Amino acid sequence: MENVLKAISEYLSKYGLKLLGAIVILLVGRWLAGFIARVVEGALLKAKIEETIARFIKHLTHIAVLVFVVIAALAAAGVETTQFAVVFGGAALAVGLALQGSLANFASGFLMIMFRPFKVGDFIEAAGTKGTVKEIGIFNTFVNTPDNIRVIIPNAKLTGDNIMNYTANGTRRVDLVIGVSYEDDIKKAKRVIEQVLAEDERVLDDPPPTVAVVELADSSVNFVVRPWVNAADYWNVYFDTTAKVKLSLEDNGITIPFPQRDVHIKNESKEGLTLN
């Protein structure tokens, strides 16, 4: 027992200060990594760099500082850094092979930042999800759906799929189909619908809205109603226009028919038929 205590004492006297220094470097370095990352993000935002890019660089900065801190702590503990570099390289290769999916997500995140198919705040549809982009991380993108569910999508899924960005162009076209009765005056119906659109300040003049007969259906004459609006006004205009068109048509004596079918029954007398 005395020999064990003596060995421990000799080890602590020789390496104790180095180990203590390495622990201090790790603790301070971890705090410093977060601090530097926040400072970098703040500087980028103050320089009016897009929030998406600023957050991505923040994450990269945090990881880079942590790697430097770990190497510095190992050096302070007396570990030969040149040998560590060789070991680290081999370990990195093994980890890289085991985490191919994560590396693909990282590469995809980098590509999205470079080519910017969307940014924070855009409403997108991709990888089977519709929602507003809240954050583009190193490995995942965070999206809030219209019913306020947070969806975490791996970046590789986004770059490997079609991305529909509903916000990017600034304007959207509302597509409605309105049917009127065959007995009604379609010229009058068209004027009524156009008046509804003209009275809505959210409907853009350029490009002008389209109101045209698109189909002679079984029970109705169908109009396409296609006003252009700012992307943020899309759903409000969609709902309001649907209701206003119905009310205006009714006020002007124009009918919106429901599906119906006329059935004619034909009776035939059968004569001369005998049964044996």
- Structure confidence by residue, pLDDT tens digits, 236-246: 999 999 999 99
- Structure confidence by residue, pLDDT tens digits, 144-163: 999 999 999 999 999 888 99
What's the confidence (pLDDT) of residue 241? 97
Query: Which amino acid is it at 95?
Result: V
- Structure confidence by residue, pLDDT tens digits, 110-148: 888 888 899 889 999 999 999 999 988 878 899 999 999
What's the confidence (pLDDT) of residue 169? 93
- Which is more confidently placed, 264 or 184? 184
Query: Which is nearest to 178 in space by CA: 130, 221, 234, 236?
Result: 221
What's the confidence (pLDDT) of residue 113? 80
Q: Provide the mean pLDDT of the chain.
A: 83
Q: Is the dihedral of CA 256, 212, 247, 250 positive or negative?
A: negative
**pLDDT bracket for residue 97 (50, 70, 90):** very low
3-state secondary structure 48-94: CCCHHHHHHHHHHHHHHHHHHHHHHHHHHCCCCHHHHHHHHHHHHHH
215 - beta bridge partners?
A: 222
| All domains in the chain, ordered by first residue | 8-98 (1.10.287.1260), 118-165 (2.30.30.60), 171-251 (3.30.70.100)
